[in-house]
Structure 1
Amino acid sequence: MKVDTITYKEINRPMYILEEERLRRNLSIISDVAKRADVEIILAFKAYALWKTFPIFKEYIKSTTASSLGEARLAVDKFGKKAHTFSPAYTDYEIDEIAQCSSHLTFNSLSQYERLHNRAKNANEEISFGLRINPEYSEIETDIYNPCAAGTRFGISADKMPETLPSDIDGFHCHCHCENGSDVFERTLKHIEEKFSRWFKQIKWINFGGGHLMTRKDYDIELLVNILKEFHNRYPWLKIIMEPGSAFGWQTGPLVAQVIDIVEDKGIKTAILNVSFSCHMPDCLEMPYHPAVRGARTIEENPDYSKPYTYRLGANSCLSGDFMSAWEFDHELEIGENIIFEDMNHYTTVKTTMFNGISHPALAFVHSGTNELEITREFGPKDYILRMN
């Protein structure tokens, strides 16, 4: 069926919606940056893994990055190419299959490398090994997302690195951004070079990780391209890899939910929805952040519920804290009305749960040009029961 992508009035049940036109816009921007800066930009599954859209991705990019055996298998089985893989720690019972599914394998510590690199090489003779480095600098303000915070479990600091790298280490991997701009990357790069450039002559590639939000409207793409070109000039033998996640799925579509009840207590009105922040928008509670709701004004502090159209939005789970405050609408909400949460594809569809057995939103795709809605996956009680089996 055709849908109105402003109101989605044709939809009456929860649904994550990916709009092809928006996705292709992001892919075009990312592909252009890669060509102009002569770098490889790959898709990080930890932020986006809707594999039925991979045929579109493959028109623009060549590779993906994995953080687990499941993601590495996804790369091979659905993207059709081995993954660039990093994990904080590989297990004895998965390392062989992970290596078989990986073109690049980055070790988080020297002890992991020493214990497992021979097994990985025996499983895949063509694999390229890397080490994750810790520049001990990050501008990420939320500690839960900061991999360079004191006591981090991620990467090797310069003082723990041997002067001569193992002969089969080909690259460095560094991840210390989270939806940051190119100005942050410019400042971070100074710390990376200051601490680790003396090893650059011993490696062939460097992976600057994710968090480079190059598809955000205010992102300075020209600065990014210039930074990368200047880095190339300083170290022309190094292949540069970047693996943003959010940038691919950024602003590609909403989560559409419906109002199923409206309750009031102590003057606070709550519109209860058929979706859950805990289950279906977990970053809102983890980060935390207030998602934008189409047609409503977000009120993050001191909401005035005496105003006629100010509401909390609450879930239909039994978790008491599964709600957020507050939004001001321009009308009184009604049962059955759509509530459209903007930008709910990256780091959302990959993190959902089936806690409480709540019905999981369907996955859908809007084709560009026609606005035809294709439902790519629906979920029911059997999915929850099988998960608990």
Structure 2
Amino acid sequence: MKIPSPCFVLDEKKLIQNLKLIDDVQKRAEIEIILAFKGFSMWSAFPVVRRYVKGATASSLNEVRLCNEEMGVKSHTYCVAYDENEFDEIVANSSHITFNSLNQYHQFIDRVPKDVSIGLRVNPEWSDVETNLYNPSSPISRLGISSKNLQKLPDRVEGLHFHVLCESDSFALEKVLESLESKFGSLLRQVKWVNMGGGHLMTKKGYDTNHLVDLLTSFKKKHDVDVILEPGSAFAWQTGDLHTTVLDVVENGGKRTAIFDGSFTCHMPDCLEMPYRPKLENGSDVEVGGWHPHRLGGVSCLAGDFLDEYWFEKPLSAGDSIIFKDMIHYTMVKTSTFNGVKHPSIAIKRESGDLDLIKEFGYLDFKNRLS
């Protein structure tokens, strides 16, 4: 089957490789690793995911429902703020419920069933994240309770949760744990579990998984707690691409812009927000002598829907393919239909090599989001 354009294509073989590594870490460290939907919620791949991990974390009622329906388990749930009208359904379908503030703990504690484990999100105030937009560890962050505001654990609280990493290594986690112990050491002796959130990019080439296992094993033994990790990127890291096609090439002011049938603002917003430059299958993000520079422009009407020059061996023209690498994690989950731009199809390249076209999007997908 020919890959339609535009289309997200997940490589099942690469996903399984990541899952095997993740499973190996959780078994060796004797911890629980669960899937964070905010990074990867392609539920058509969950039958494969369920072979290696048994749980998932949700941060909204919709994600709770997805966990129940497609992972087949109750979710570990953390919301920045719970809605009064949604809380009862959320907690009824969660095994763990974590509060972001003491205000919300006091508001909802009497509505949490006895069999649901309660946690609090705390802020260790250390992170290696350099982009402020993505850094949750600021002393004035809205995410998590500071040590100054949490001198003792409220009734029924069994766990502490933090999430301050982003595509980080185990040595960054080690520094976070040092800060956590410095600020919340007395509370660690009182809890049953610690959820270390996501950002643990253990499937990246060169990641020291032995150091991670040793670190987690030591922390567990020292504090006599169960440990939970909930990465998103690690599951889908380098497991698939976004296939697009050049529609036109325009030249103004001495610069050529290849306009493709996708969009950064609609399909790859982190390219504009972070910002970051994705790698290409068939081009270079850095200058190559003798190659031809082109800006890449999305098909939306937003003036800023473009990235500065990439280099191609031959000049681009209408009909040429542009394949953006590593577009499955934290990309598919952020897409929109702004401007009515066509949403990329979704496909899985199976272990057998066959292409399984999972979904194509049309007018009703655009219309039904509006009123």
TM, length-normalised to structure 1: 0.93
- Partner in structure 1 of residue 142 of structure 2: 153
Match of 1:326 among 306, 309, 312: 309
**Could you tell me how far apart the structure 1 residues matched to 2:341 and 2:304 are?**
16
After the TM superposition, list the runs of 4 or more consecutive aligned residues in structure 1 that deviate by more than 3 angstroms.
none
| Preserved contact between residue 201 and residue 231 of structure 2 (Cα < 8 Å) | yes
- For the pair 1:244 / 2:235, whether they are aligned, the reply is no
Map 1:347-386 to 2 at 5 A: 347-368=330-351, 370-386=352-368
2:327 to 344, 348, 353: 344
Alignment of 1:1-389 (within 5 A): 1=1, 10-121=2-113, 125-163=114-152, 165-236=153-224, 238-299=225-286, 309-368=292-351, 370-389=352-371
Amino acid at match of 1:44: A
Q: Distance in 2 between matches of 1:319 and 1:266?
A: 19
Cα drift, residue 270 of structure 1:
0.4
Paired residue type of 1:198: S
- Aligned Cα root-mean-square deviation (Å): 1.3
CA-CA distance at 1:337 after TM superposition: 1.3
1:244 is matched by which residue type in structure 2? Answer: P
Is this contact kept in 2: 1:361–1:379, CA < 8 A?
Answer: yes
- Measured after TM superposition, the shift of residue 386 of structure 1 is 1.1
Determine helix, strand or coil for the equivalent of 2:112. helix
SS in 1 for 2:8: strand
2:139–2:146 Cα contact (<8 Å) kept = no
In the alignment, structure 1 segments of 5+ residues that lack a partner are 2-9
User: Secondary structure at 2:119's aligned position in 1?
Assistant: strand
- 1:12–1:336 contact (8 Å) kept in structure 2: no
In the alignment, the residues of structure 1 paired with residue 198 and residue 16 of structure 2 have an alpha-carbon distance, to the nearest angstrom, of: 19
Superposed displacement of residue 150, structure 1: 3.6
| Structure 2 Cα separation of the partners of residues 38 and 78 of structure 1 | 25
CA drift at 1:267? 0.6
Q: Which AA in structure 1 matches 2:367?
A: I
Q: Which residue type is aligned with residue 228 of structure 1?
A: L
1:5 matched to which residue of 2? none
- AA matched with 1:218: G
> In structure 1, what is the Cα distance between the partners aligned to 2:145 and 2:367?
42
For the Cα contact (< 8 Å) 1:95–1:120, is it kept in 2?
no
Number of matched residues? Answer: 371
Q: Check conservation: 2:126, 2:175, Cα contact below 8 A.
A: no
Query: Per-residue deviation at 1:105?
Result: 0.3
Q: Distance in 1 between matches of 2:350 and 2:95?
A: 33
- Check the 8 A contact 1:37/1:225 in 2, yes or no: yes
Q: 2: CA distance between counterparts of 1:357 and 1:73?
A: 27
Aligned-partner SS, 1:113: helix
CA distance change for structure 1 residues 172 and 308 in 2, over 3 Å: closer, same or farther?
A: closer
Contact 1:12–1:258 under 8 Å retained in 2: no
Unaligned stretches of 5+ residues in structure 2:
none
Residue 126 of structure 1: how far off its partner (Å):
1.3
Q: CA deviation at 1:138?
A: 1.2
- Of residues 326-335 and 272-281 in structure 1, the stretch that sits farther from structure 2 once superposed is 326-335
| C-alpha displacement of 1:308 | 6.0
1:27-67 alpha-carbon deviations (Å, 9 max, x no partner):
00000000000110000000000001111111000100000
Aligned-partner SS, 1:310: strand
The AA in structure 1 aligned to 2:86 is E
- The secondary structure found in structure 1 opposite 2:257 is strand
Question: Normalising to structure 2: TM-score of the pair?
Answer: 0.98
State the one-letter code of the partner of 1:312. R
Aligned AA (1:28): K
Q: Is the 8 A contact 1:12 1:338 kept in 2?
A: no
**Given that residues 16 and 256 in structure 1 are in contact (C-alpha distance below 8 angstroms), is that contact kept between their aligned partners in structure 2?**
yes
The question of whether the paired residues in 2 share the 8 Å contact of 1:259 and 1:334 is answered with yes
C-alpha distance in structure 2 between counterparts of 1:181 and 1:247, whole Å:
11
SS of the residue aligned with 1:384?
Answer: helix
Separation (CA, whole Å) in 2 of partners of 1:156 and 1:11: 47
Identity level (%): 46
Task: Give the Cα–Cα distance (whole angstroms) in 2 for the partners of residues 138 and 247 of structure 1.
Answer: 18
Q: 1:291 to 1:17 in 2, by over 3 A?
A: same
1:12–1:336 CA distance, 2 compared to 1 (3 A): farther
Q: Secondary structure of the residue that 2:140 maps to in structure 1? A: coil
